[in-house]
């Protein structure tokens, strides 16, 4: 059987971690609709849910936090980050430092929840350390009295963040923690299926998420909104962009054929945290973009996706634009590690076939008799 391009519609695994119900516009984590968790459960609670299959009791959450506190510290002092200097792509810095830390630890053998916790604990510390180092500042140690989201913002700025910023970032982390069999999750599961270690699987997932078709879209949404400038300029700007076959960033999704439920939650967060002028710009762009795209491409059912309002929320908490993908990774690592743990239960090597479309009849010729190949 020949699979469709991009494995469109092909089921590659059974999972009870999460699922995207694209037609209904619904996302479920371990049986919980995302609307039941966002703004109510902390990221730590959701990570526990993804790893263990149930929400934690208070003693279980306390034990999780007690374990993760020391895990957040950089055991090598950020050696790889310092070697990279300030010009590296933040996703490259994250990938390199996690790889080094995993080699020094080392993280090896059959994947465990403790290893998943360690990797999840380290991501924000690595990102924050890189940001400070490239700005000529020393990395900050995480604080034991701050939670996951608050520590991330503290380690970036050196100041205890305001509660509304913590709430916004924590909700964002919950919303992005897992999302079915996306490209980076599939990458992690493929690597895990070879019985490689969990750190290798996560480093591979970071590489997949780095691609602009996967993790880089929120920054491109901000670029687009800045170019538009004002709500009044939305129509002429988008009309011109579409006339020139430019892509509107933050619209459309591979699976959702209606509004992305995460976008709806983030929209309300953006309304509360952004300036009125910026929210008016974003909301006008969303409404006009949806109307115009569906007028021009009625068969594609295009709506805003999570990246559209992720940009507004991450901007409102003060994150630099090129840290949006690494912040995405700092959320998704909980899902990646949960999928690695699941893959190893009854594991079978993921080894698909390909359809060969090349020739089969070529004959070897000595080098003196060879002619240059035709270039089309």
Residue 359 three-state SS: coil
253 catalytically annotated: yes
Domain spanning 13-212+322-343: CATH superfamily:
Citrate Synthase, domain 1 (1.10.580.10)
> What pLDDT, on the 0 to 100 scale, is given for residue 256?
78
> What pLDDT, on the 0 to 100 scale, is given for residue 329?
98
**Does residue 218 surpass a pLDDT of 90?**
no
Active-site choice (44, 292, 307, 342): 307
**Does residue 250 surpass a pLDDT of 90?**
no
Domain 217-316 belongs in CATH node 1.10.230.10: yes
Residue-averaged pLDDT of the chain: 93
Active-site choice (148, 253, 292, 339): 253
> What pLDDT, on the 0 to 100 scale, is given for residue 375?
56
User: What residue spans define the domains of the chain?
Assistant: 13-212+322-343, 217-316
307 catalytically annotated: yes
pLDDT tens per residue across span 121-175: 999 999 999 999 999 999 999 999 999 999 999 999 999 999 999 999 999 999 9
């Amino acid at each position: 059987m020949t699979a469709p391009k991009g494995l469109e519609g092909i089921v590659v695994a059974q999972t009870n971690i999460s699922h995207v119900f694209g037609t209904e516009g619904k996302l479920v984590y371990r049986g919980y609709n995302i609307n039941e968790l966002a703004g109510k459960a902390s990221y730590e609670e959701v990570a526990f849910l993804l790893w263990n299959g149930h929400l934690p009791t208070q003693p279980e959450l306390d034990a999780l936090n007690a374990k993760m506190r020391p895990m957040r510290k950089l055991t090598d002092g950020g050696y790889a980050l310092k070697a990279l200097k300030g010009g590296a792509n933040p996703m490259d810095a994250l990938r390199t430092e996690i790889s080094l830390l995993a080699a020094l630890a080392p993280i090896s053998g059959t994947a465990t929840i403790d290893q998943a916790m360690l990797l999840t604990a380290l991501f924000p510390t690595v990102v924050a350390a890189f940001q400070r180092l490239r700005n000529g500042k020393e990395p900050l140690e995480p604080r034991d009295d701050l939670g996951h989201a608050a520590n991330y913002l503290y380690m970036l700025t050196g100041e205890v963040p305001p509660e509304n910023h913590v709430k916004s970032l924590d909700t964002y982390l919950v919303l992005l923690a897992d999302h079915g069999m996306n490209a980076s999750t599939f990458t992690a599961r493929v690597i895990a299926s070879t019985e490689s270690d969990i750190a290798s699987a996560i480093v591979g997932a970071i590489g997949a998420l780095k691609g602009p078709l996967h993790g880089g879209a929120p920054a491109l949404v901000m670029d687009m909104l800045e170019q538009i400038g004002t709500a009044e300029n939305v129509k002429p700007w988008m009309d011109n962009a579409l006339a020139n076959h430019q892509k509107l960033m933050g619209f459309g999704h591979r699976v959702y054929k209606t509004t992305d439920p995460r976008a709806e939650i983030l929209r309300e967060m953006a309304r509360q945290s952004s300036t009125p002028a910026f929210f008016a710009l974003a909301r006008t762009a969303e409404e006009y973009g949806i109307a115009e795209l569906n007028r021009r491409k009625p068969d594609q059912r295009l709506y805003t996706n999570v990246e559209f309002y992720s940009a507004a929320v991450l901007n409102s908490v003060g994150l630099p634009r090129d840290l949006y993908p690494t912040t995405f990774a700092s959320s998704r690592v909980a899902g990646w590690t949960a999928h690695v743990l699941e893959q190893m239960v009854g594991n079978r090597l993921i080894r698909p076939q390909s359809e060969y479309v090349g020739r089969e009849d070529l004959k070897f010729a000595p080098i003196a008799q060879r002619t240059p190949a035709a270039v089309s």
